[in-house]
Amino acid sequence: MRDWTTAEYQRLVADGFFASDDHLTLLDGQVVEMSPTGNYQAAAVEFVVDQLCFLLSSNEYMVWSQHPVVLSNKSESEPDIAVVKARNDYYRERHPGPQAIHLLIEVADTSLEKTATLRQLVRRSWNHRILDCQPERRNN
């Protein structure tokens, strides 16, 4: 199979080459189909986002949830959660890249295959198996 660059992949997305409801990511030059997010996974992601927003209430960082990040010239993914350097333009012109990414979090309920690939591409990552915990929202 042909390897794609992030620039080529972004052009295909912008030109509408893929359906808007396709769950795709670019990992190591390959376009990979991802599983849709289930209810339990979505709840776990929102729980972690809420906690991070509370803990990181500064102008230094942004909690970037299920939005694209560029990991290399051949990898662009939409991790469940990324903590990225804050920018006034909210990355309007380009996705956060390796220098802006402080932390990636993948919440997995079935397969850790994507997480393992992401872990190889970034220095700071954490994955959370949602089958092993029961997220609870605390109202303090």
| Alpha-carbon gap, residue 107 to 131, rounded angstroms | 10
Q: What is the pLDDT of residue 136?
A: 44
Q: What is the pLDDT of residue 134?
A: 46
| Residue 11 domain flag | no
Which tokens in the block code for residue 57? 């209430």
Q: What is the pLDDT of residue 23?
A: 86
| Residue 70 domain flag | yes
Number of CB atoms found within 10 A of residue 76's CB: 24
| Residue 140 domain flag | no
| Residue 20 domain flag | no
Q: What is the pLDDT of residue 109?
A: 63
**What single letter denotes the amino acid at residue 134?**
Q
| Alpha-carbon gap, residue 108 to 38, rounded angstroms | 10
Strands (E) across the chain are located at: 24-27, 30-33, 61-64, 69-72, 75-77, 81-85, 101-108, 125-129
Number of CB atoms found within 10 A of residue 121's CB: 16
Q: Which residue has the tokens 């220098």?
A: 99
| Chain centroid to CA 7 | 18
| Residue 139 domain flag | no
| Residue 49 domain flag | yes
Q: What is the CATH number of the domain that holds 76?
A: 3.90.1570.10
Split into its structural domains, the chain has a count of 1
Structural domain that includes position 74: 36-132
**What string of pLDDT tens digits covers the 140 residues of the chain?**
889 999 999 999 999 999 988 889 899 999 998 888 888 888 889 988 998 988 887 789 999 999 999 999 999 999 899 999 999 999 999 999 999 998 888 887 655 555 555 555 555 444 444 444 444 444 44
- R_g of the chain computed on alpha carbons: 15
Q: What is the pLDDT of residue 120?
A: 55
6: left (phi over 0), alpha (psi -120 to 50) or beta: alpha
Q: Which residue has the tokens 């990181």?
A: 56
Tell me the whole-structure pTM to 2 decimals.
0.74
